[in-house]
């Protein structure tokens, strides 16, 4: 090897130093491929897949029976939309908390933390892929309601319904990302995830209108992306103007992602510094 090669200094126009556009492209590629890889990985087990669909159906079935009792068809349709969204959060809440514990168990957590790629960009696609799988439960719950309970499925704005559902799922993935990061030092993270399932269903208006909740709960609801996402999906399905809610869902979701990135840096650095990453 020549002396020139070992003392090589990159020029500003050198292709090995990425520009801003190239960095963005690399990040998008990393997140996109990570999401696809995680999605394929999580879709491998038919057993898990069927369970992730069946579990929300247990609650949805109770809810359909419950709303059917008073004979109000409009309330039943609204409940069907809400119940179908519950499964998306179910797919994220516990699994997201388990993300880092899973990596820890496989012995890959240290490798991911030590990799030059920002840790957040490796974990974010995982939690978004969980929410993506949750979208199956949305479809199946609506079909279950239609075929078993005879609930009519007709959306006021079908295209916007799809957009709002995808945005809601994405925002839940971002909430899951923050949850995953927050539980990096928590050995029993799955319990934390289970803990959040019902509160989010309740205070984000998945089924119960926010107006029914105590006044002091509403400001908390507004801080949670699913509140806006659920509102958007409901308006797209039943009538209304969902776009402002879609915007708010993305905005609040981005704030959660930003907090998650900061937490990732702080908590992972702390865990590395104190040699507690493995929690042994």
Partner 1 sequence: MRASLRIFFIGGLTSYRALFTWLTPWILIPTFIVEPIFQVLFFAFVGRDAGVGSDSFYLVGNAVQFASIPCLFAMGNTISNERYTQTLGLLLASPARRLPLFLGRALPVILNGFLVSLVVLTLGAAVLRISIPVSSWLPLVAVLAVSSFSCTGLGLMSAALALRVRETATLANVIIGVLIIFCGVNVPVPALPGWMQTISNVLPLTHGIEAARELVGGASWGSVTGLVTTEALIGVVYAGIGMAMLYLLEIESRRSATLELA
If one asks whether residue 207 binds partner 1 (CB under 8 A), the answer comes out as: yes
Q: How far is the CB of 76 from partner 1 (least distance, A)?
A: 9
Which part of the chain contacts partner 1 (CB under 8 A), choosing from 16-24, 156-164, 174-182, 197-205?
197-205
**What character string, x for contact with partner 1 (CB under 8 A) and - otherwise, covers 102-141?**
----------------------------------------
Rg over CA atoms, the chain: 21
Q: Which own/partner contact pairs does 186-190 have at CB distance under 8 Å and 24+ positions apart? A: 186/97, 187/101, 187/279, 189/97, 189/98, 189/100, 189/101, 190/94, 190/97, 190/98, 190/101
What count of Cα atoms within 13 Å lies in the side-chain half-sphere of residue 112?
A: 24
Residue closer to partner 1, measured from CB, 189 or 257: 189
Answer for the pair 192, 97: CB distance below 8 angstroms, yes or no.
yes
* Residue 51 per-residue DSSP state: H
Site string for partner 1, 253-272 (x = CB under 8 A): --------------------
The smaller minimum CB distance to partner 1, of residues 115 and 143, is found at 143
Does the protein bind partner 1 through residue 220 (CB under 8 A)?
no
Pairwise CA distance, residues 194 & 197, whole Å: 6
Are 91 and 39 in contact by the 8 Å Cβ rule? The answer is no
Residue 122 and residue 107: Cα distance in Å, rounded? 15
* Nearest alpha-carbon partner for 76 in 161, 152, 1, 3: 152
Stretch that binds partner 1, among 6-14, 65-73, 125-133, 265-273 (CB under 8 A): 65-73
Among 209, 239, 244, 247, binds partner 1 (CB under 8 A): 209
**Per CB under 8 A, does 199 bind partner 1?**
yes
Binding of residue 43 to partner 1 (CB under 8 A)? no
Residue of the chain from 66, 139, 143, 223 that contacts partner 1 (CB under 8 A): 66
Which residues between 147 and 166 bind partner 1 (CB under 8 A)?
none
Phi–psi pair at 13, nearest 5 degrees:
-95, 10
Tell me which residues touch partner 1 (CB under 8 A): 47, 51, 54-55, 57-59, 61-63, 65-70, 72, 75, 79, 186-188, 191-192, 194-195, 197-199, 201-202, 207-209, 212-213
């Amino acid at each position: 090897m020549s002396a020139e090669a070992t003392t090589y200094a990159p020029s500003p126009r050198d292709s090995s130093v990425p520009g801003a556009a190239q960095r963005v492209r690399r990040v998008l590629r990393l997140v996109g491929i990570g999401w696809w890889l995680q999605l394929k990985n999580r879709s491998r087990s038919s057993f898990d897949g069927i369970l992730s669909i069946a579990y929300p159906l247990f609650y949805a079935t109770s809810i359909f029976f419950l709303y059917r009792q008073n004979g109000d068809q409009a309330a039943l349709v609204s409940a069907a939309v809400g119940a179908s969204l519950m499964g998306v959060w179910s797919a994220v809440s516990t699994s997201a908390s388990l993300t880092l514990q899973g990596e820890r168990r496989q012995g890959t957590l240290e490798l991911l933390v030590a990799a030059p790629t920002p840790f957040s960009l490796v974990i974010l696609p995982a939690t978004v892929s969980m929410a993506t799988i949750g979208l199956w439960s949305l479809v199946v719950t609506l079909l279950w309601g239609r075929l078993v309970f005879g609930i009519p499925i007709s959306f006021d704005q079908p295209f916007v319904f799809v957009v709002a559902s995808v945005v809601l799922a994405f925002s839940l993935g971002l909430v899951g990302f923050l949850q995953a990061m927050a539980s990096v030092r928590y050995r029993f993270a799955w319990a934390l995830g289970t803990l959040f399932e019902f509160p989010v269903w309740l205070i984000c208006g998945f089924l119960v209108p926010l107006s029914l909740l105590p006044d002091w709960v509403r400001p908390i609801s507004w801080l949670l992306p699913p509140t806006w996402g659920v509102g958007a999906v409901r308006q797209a399905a039943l009538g209304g103007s969902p776009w402002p809610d879609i915007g708010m869902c993305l905005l609040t979701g981005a704030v959660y992602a930003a907090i998650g990135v900061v937490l990732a840096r702080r908590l992972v650095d702390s865990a590395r510094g104190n040699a507690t990453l493995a929690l042994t």
